Amino acid sequence: MRIDTAVSFWKKDAPSPADEPLILHQDYLPQHLGFVLMEHGLTGVIAIQHAERNPSTPEWLTWMEECTEVLAVVALVTSDSLTFVPEWVTRFPKLKAVRTSLSALANDGQYRQKLIATLNSLDITLEIAVDQALPESCTEWFANAPRQRIVLLPKLTKGGDNGWLDIAFIRAWTNQHPNLWIKLDGLPNLTSTDTAESSWDDPEDAMLDASKAVTFVNQLLESQLTERLVWGSAWPALTAQFTFDEAIDILDTCLQGKPEVPKTNLLGANVVDAYGLSE
């Protein structure tokens, strides 16, 4: 089983309106996936919801249930929508995870406690978008929910503070909480540009462009976190434009010269464990 854990479907029908310039310039639908999945030997994808609008979460989940290329989905959750999560899990079998931000958890203790209590009874994964430095207290948040699966999503950018994901801290956290993973769906942000033209035509250019991503992945692998990593293409993206083939190329470049096991785990065994999927 080989799975891409981060593919976005923005809308089901009409193109993006002119007043939403940041939304994808070309809508992307699940039926476009068939060929690229087959070409790269991928079993399917995990679909990510990026906004609680157009369509609404229930509408989006209904749509994803109909898509054979989608093996599982991750829905956004907020303090307002948290009460609906148990209903969603019952109605939509593909719902395997919900996503929230680290800042929301860190700044709203009541929401954090309610979210953890809700998920503890549902056996679904919590994705946490790392949008600030990890507070030391986060290692204690799940003390009463030791079986809770957690996937951290570092926000990786060329000019950003990628130190938000302190690898030594993550290592210490995984020693305390065995159900913690890191999703590498930000690698294209370290390698591609904001221009529409691809810079991946020349393999030598690709190696140069991917240097920051290679460094980051090497740090994770050298920290013996191989079994804690999952990969997502993060495609299509809002700003940095790249093809699915280029997303795969970035991963291959980062793992060049590495044993086959890390790549196999990134796309397979780790994903199954992190999202509670059936083999």
Average pLDDT value for the chain: 81
Q: Which two tokens stand for residue 264?
A: 């196999």
Question: For position 106, what pLDDT does the model report?
Answer: 94
Question: For position 254, what pLDDT does the model report?
Answer: 86
pLDDT grade for 11, boundaries at 50, 70 and 90: low
Average pLDDT of the residues in 220-230: 85
pLDDT grade for 16, boundaries at 50, 70 and 90: very low
Question: For position 244, what pLDDT does the model report?
Answer: 80
Average pLDDT of the residues in 262-271: 89
Helices 244-254 and 211-222: angle between axes, nearest 10 degrees? 50
> For the segment 74-126, what is each residue's pLDDT rounded down to a tens digit?
999 999 999 999 999 999 999 999 999 999 999 999 999 999 999 988 989 99
Question: For position 12, what pLDDT does the model report?
Answer: 56
Q: Is the pLDDT of residue 261 over 70?
A: yes
Question: For position 162, what pLDDT does the model report?
Answer: 56
In degrees and rounded to multiples of 5, residue 161 shows phi and psi of: -90, 85
Question: For position 103, what pLDDT does the model report?
Answer: 94
Q: Is the pLDDT of residue 19 over 80?
A: no
Whole-prediction pTM: 0.86
Q: Is the pLDDT of residue 54 over 90?
A: no
Exposed / middle / buried, residue 256 (Cβ in 10 Å: 0-12, 13-18, 19+): exposed
Separation of alpha carbons 52 and 77, rounded Å? 9
> For the segment 231-256, what is each residue's pLDDT rounded down to a tens digit?
998 877 655 567 788 888 888 888 88
> For the segment 59-75, what is each residue's pLDDT rounded down to a tens digit?
889 988 988 889 999 99
